[in-house]
Structure 1
Amino acid sequence: PTSAGALPSRTARPVAFYGPRHVERLELIGRLQDRGLRMRAIKELVDRIESGELQLNEWLGLEEQLQAAWVDDAPQVLTLAEITQLVGELRPGSLAELVRQGFIVAHGEGRYLVHSPGLLQVAGRLEKAGISLDVITGAWKIMQKHMQKAALELVGLFGERAGEGFGQGRSLESVAEAFKELKPLGLESVRLIFAREMEQALRKLVESGEATRIERSKRRRGRG
């Protein structure tokens, strides 16, 4: 059974049955399974709750903070008219290019699955500024690769220091509060750090003379 290992042994009776303790455990295991936890994690969590080391309500509060979305940018199925509202008037070939680059996926009957309406809107503005969709896609892949690594390392750091430098106390409630405050401030930190790094990289581009070579290359392509 899916709850194997998470339940205590059954009461020894001529006809084996689950007593009240088993029923409570089963209900708790079901709730935790519904939240996507694996059985090994469920067993550890149930054991800590039953030993009094952990309060279920506190853990559920922390879990709610950890599972909550950081941005309101859920996938949507949109019509062509709704996509146009997001990105503006599409030039000939733009729709096919959006599909090819993975921004949208055909969903049948003139509808499209948009993985990130927010990023699609940004892509539309960047394209109108003269940046092609394939360059935008390449840039985002670079950002996603490094941001994914950074996010994993940050989660590891926060988990390691939970209650001892991350959160004002050792309670799960204080850790949950720290994660709550981290969302807006973390996003602002990313914006500031990215801006500083781009400033430095562009300054080095100018100082190295690469900017001049870019201009010469552009003129040669223009004459060709």
Structure 2
Amino acid sequence: MVGRVSVDTGSSKGAGVANLAGAAPYADRVAQIDDGAPDEPAREYRVEELAAAAGITTRTLRFYRERKLLPPPRKEGRIAWYGPAHLARLRLIGELLERGHTLGGIAELIGAGESGQDVAELIGLEQAITSPWSDETPVRLDWAELATAFGDQLTEANTVESLAQGYITATDEGITHVSKRLLDATVALLAEGVPLAAVLDASRKAQEHADAVAEVFVALIRDQLLGALHTDSPLPPGEAAHLTEQLHRIRPLARTVADAQFGLALDRRVRAEYEGLLQQRRQH
């Protein structure tokens, strides 16, 4: 959505300001990592030894070094020596990756910490941007349950279309649907006699229109509120926290606007359809 903040997280509702306390330990470690790792013995590592100590491959370590995620090693002739600070940095990178951060985002956090910026605030802002805006609950069904729910409409074509739309993932044991609410709505429509193929066709069209609406809202936030993230200049002190608070106030508005606009659109379309039907009946 934005250029400078590209970290993805697996956090859900409550991210952002509420998670600054959880981000603080990482922020302290990012900011202080180059002071060394006092809990580690004062020893040095060759590249293979450092990779083994960090639990990664030498190829991954060299990739991190190329991405400038590690400070330069001490050179002794042609031999590169790494110290406890390098090992601490690698362990921090691993923990941040497990939390869902991208390497690009980790590089930015490290750079921010080294330049004295408030890393906890940046992490909170990233979480406010990238944590899920939906609150859908995935649901898993085995193939027997699917057969019971969909009967003879569980065809190969319908399964392929569902996979293509991204709503389900399939294994030998069954499927996982991204939204229990959407799955329940599909089953309810089938119970009313609507064919699954027709539901999937409508779903594809609705997804396309929903993506367009989301792009409008994202563009509004990006252009009107997050312009500071598109520059190379560091954010002013307190700006990340301010943007985080704004995003948390705006998040509910996205759902409110979408729900209101969809309801009004239904009013217009149903009224027009009904008037057209009445006119058609009068003509006959």
TM-score scaled by structure 1? 0.68
Matched, 1:26 2:90: yes
Aligned residues: percent identity?
A: 25
The 3-state SS of whatever aligns with 2:72 is coil
The 3-state SS of whatever aligns with 1:72 is coil
Matched, 1:138 2:201: yes
Q: Is the Cα contact below 8 Å between 2:74 and 2:82 reproduced in 1?
A: yes
Deviation per CA, 1:165-202: give whole Å up to 9, x if none.
xxxx9533333333334444322321111111222233
Which amino acid is 1:158 matched to? I
Match among 142, 146, 152 for residue 93 of structure 1: 152
Which amino acid is 2:152 matched to? G
Match among 218, 239, 243 for residue 175 of structure 1: 243
The 3-state SS of whatever aligns with 2:80 is coil
- Within-5 A mapping of 1:43-192: 43-53=107-117, 55-65=118-128, 66-68=130-132, 70-78=134-142, 80-81=144-145, 90=149, 93-96=152-155, 99=159, 101-102=161-162, 107-108=171-172, 111-160=174-223, 161-162=225-226, 171-192=239-260
The 3-state SS of whatever aligns with 1:2 is helix
Gaps of 5+ in 2: 1-61, 229-236
CA offset at residue 147 of structure 1?
A: 1.6
The 3-state SS of whatever aligns with 2:82 is coil
TM-score scaled by structure 2? 0.56
The 3-state SS of whatever aligns with 2:214 is helix
After superposition, the Cα gap between the structure-2 partners of 1:22 and 1:156, relative to the gap in structure 1 and judged at 3 Å, is: farther
Which amino acid is 1:162 matched to? L
Q: Distance in 2 between matches of 1:210 and 1:31?
A: 61
Q: Is the Cα contact below 8 Å between 1:32 and 1:42 reproduced in 2?
A: yes
The 3-state SS of whatever aligns with 2:94 is helix
Q: Is the Cα contact below 8 Å between 1:106 and 1:112 reproduced in 2?
A: yes
Match among 42, 63, 69 for residue 106 of structure 2: 42
Q: Distance in 2 between matches of 1:105 and 1:19?
A: 44
CA offset at residue 48 of structure 1?
A: 1.9
- Give the number of the structure with larger relative contact order, counting CA–CA contacts within 8 Å between residues 6 or more apart: 2
Which amino acid is 1:93 matched to? D
State the match for 1:222 in structure 2.
Answer: none
State the match for 1:203 in structure 2.
Answer: 271
After superposition, the Cα gap between the structure-2 partners of 1:124 and 1:77, relative to the gap in structure 1 and judged at 3 Å, is: closer
Deviation per CA, 1:142-173: give whole Å up to 9, x if none.
12112223324433432341388xxxx95333
CA offset at residue 42 of structure 1?
A: 3.1
Q: What is the aligned-residue RMSD (CA, Å)?
A: 3.7
Aligned length: 204
Q: Is the Cα contact below 8 Å between 1:78 and 1:112 reproduced in 2?
A: yes
After superposition, the Cα gap between the structure-2 partners of 1:21 and 1:107, relative to the gap in structure 1 and judged at 3 Å, is: closer
Deviation per CA, 1:40-97: give whole Å up to 9, x if none.
44323321221023x232233333342246213224234645x69xxxx757524448
After superposition, the Cα gap between the structure-2 partners of 1:174 and 1:114, relative to the gap in structure 1 and judged at 3 Å, is: same
Q: Distance in 2 between matches of 1:125 and 1:147?
A: 21
Q: Is the Cα contact below 8 Å between 1:76 and 1:114 reproduced in 2?
A: yes
Gaps of 5+ in 1: 220-224
The 3-state SS of whatever aligns with 2:81 is coil
Q: Distance in 2 between matches of 1:26 and 1:115?
A: 34
Which amino acid is 1:2 matched to? F
